[in-house]
Structure 1
Amino acid sequence: MLQPSMNDSKFPLTVVILARNEEENIKACIESASFADEILVIENNSSDRTVEFALEMKAKVLNRDLNNDYSAQRNFAIENSKHDWIFMLDADERITQELQKEIITAVNSNEDFCYQVSRENHFVSGVVLHGDLRPDHVERLFLKAKSHYEGNVHERLHSSSPIKRLNGRLIHFPYKTWEIHMNKINYYSSLVAEKYHSKGKRCNFARDIVIKPLWAFIKVYFIHRGFLDGKLGFIFSALHYFYTMEKYLKLDSLNRNSGKI
């Protein structure tokens, strides 16, 4: 059985990390993946000390312009990974000890699976376990030869291997400030609106701008039990309402007035 060891070569796995201006996260992220033989950081023109810190942690760093295409960025990383097995990790995530053990077991078995893991969202003011930010399952551990990403906005891994789920979780630190979260809402709502517009999608005021945002709130706050997370649960549910409304407002504006109000 292959096992990572302080005295032997590390585990034959490539951990890929996409990063831009992640100097506050990159060291802890890489440290959580330090059992892997190769840690490959795909860096997107950072202006802080992300690259410096990644190199200090003995990661391999490649620079590539994101150009608003996450699939192309991740596929570039896959092409430049040296191992057959790849684990895709974001800079604001940490691999737990339990998940590390399961990754090692899965790679040792070398079975033809694509593995899902769940992410648990943590904040300074609490942990969110329900609603819009409830733990989600994402495909992260996969065979290089059988996998690629598609979609420039909400990119998804496509693998010819059957899906299997690992029990260990990633710890996710998604937003440090409300400003960062608001900026992400604005960024993604614009990308989605532009995607819809390019595909000729129409917008109906009553259905898309009035009813869909309200249903989005009801779904995450009541059906997915966001109320169990207290104040944070309500706030994130309300912001999900505004995100849903904003993307359709932007789509309607693009369709009618080339993006102008």
Structure 2
Amino acid sequence: MEFLKMSGLTVVVLVKNEELNIVDVINNAHCVSPNVLIVDSGSSDNTVSLAEANGAKVVYREWDNDFSAQRNFALKHVDTEWVLYLDADERLDDKLCDAIKNAIGGNVAKQYSIMRKIHAFGFEYKHGIFKPDEVLRLFPTKAVHWENKVHERPVCDLPKERLAGFIEHYTYNSWQQWWDKAGKYTTIWAEDSFAKGKRTSLGACLGHAVYGFLRAYIIQLGFIDGWSGLYSSLQHFIYTMMKYLKLYELQSKK
């Protein structure tokens, strides 16, 4: 098959309890490479068995609230020249698959970004906090590492180029799913920020949250998406307030 020519690329997916997504994301990744590396952080469902049954290699790293550590750990198990990071609920469209193949085939020392469309609560967002965003995902393996425990970012000194096509991100399908993830992410952010010396006040907590809402709803045109734009902006208000209040709580206890 054509994708067997792409042996210079490994697609990395971080997972925990992703049995509903794991088969689809592996099949999608196989459109650009036969090499799929699953980094599992302790799944208790059928994620690992399904991944192995569908041709992926699975490695384990215990979850310690550090997304960058998971991504850097994956690099130790990648033996191809290129690495592509994909989340379990993301899919590459056909145009992007072709662009990835061309980029790898050209073998130019660059890092590549991709535009990502967000699908949440049954709606495809075009504006606001969930508007399409640009993410860096494709790198020469030896030229990248990751930093920050949550909202992690890649560090790579190579020139950047954006690929054609999109990642379709099928994220939150229920309010409870969003609430659970927001709770985990804000806790990690607060603990990491506190450890780095960041401090706040109750007034600043409110100020950051209000600005976050106004930025999402007005500056980023969330109001154009109607009710979906309004409640996604309110979600961002709550998320921002939570993470700063948790930081304030930590510093008060100390």
Q: CA deviation at 1:66?
A: 2.2
What are the residue-to-residue correspondences of 1:7-18 with 2, within 5 Å?
A: 9-12=4-7, 13-18=9-14
Equivalents in 2 of 1:70, 1:192: separation in Å? 11
Q: CA deviation at 1:161?
A: 1.1
What are the residue-to-residue correspondences of 1:125-144 with 2, within 5 Å?
A: 125-144=122-141
Aligned partner of 1:159 in structure 2 is 156
What does the per-residue CA deviation read over 1:132-186, in whole Å, with 9 as the maximum and x for residues that have no partner? Answer: 1111111101001111111222211111211111121100011121111011111
Structure 1 residue runs of 5 or longer lacking an equivalent are none
Equivalent residue of 2:117, what SS? strand
Aligned partner of 1:183 in structure 2 is 180
Pick one of 229, 235, 238 that aligns with 1:239. Answer: 235
Aligned partner of 1:218 in structure 2 is 214
What are the residue-to-residue correspondences of 1:1-261 with 2, within 5 Å?
A: 5=2, 9-12=4-7, 13-35=9-31, 36-123=33-120, 125-206=122-203, 208-258=204-254
Equivalents in 1 of 2:20, 2:67: separation in Å? 21
Equivalent residue of 2:34, what SS? strand
Instruction: Decide whether the 8 Å contact of 1:15 with 1:89 is kept in 2.
Output: yes
- Higher mean C-alpha displacement, 20-29 vs 180-189: 180-189
- Higher mean C-alpha displacement, 82-91 vs 124-133: 124-133
Equivalents in 1 of 2:249, 2:73: separation in Å? 34
What does the per-residue CA deviation read over 1:26-83, in whole Å, with 9 as the maximum and x for residues that have no partner? Answer: 1111111113020111111101111111112111111111211111111111121121
- Count of matched residue positions in the alignment of Structure 1 and Structure 2: 252
Task: Determine what percentage of the aligned residue pairs are the same residue.
Answer: 38
Q: CA deviation at 1:209?
A: 2.0
Equivalents in 2 of 1:75, 1:214: separation in Å? 35
Instruction: Decide whether the 8 Å contact of 1:10 with 1:37 is kept in 2.
Output: no
C-alpha change, 1:132 and 1:176, in structure 2 (3 Å) is same
TM-score (norm 2): 0.95
The two structures, once aligned, show a CA RMSD in angstroms of: 1.4
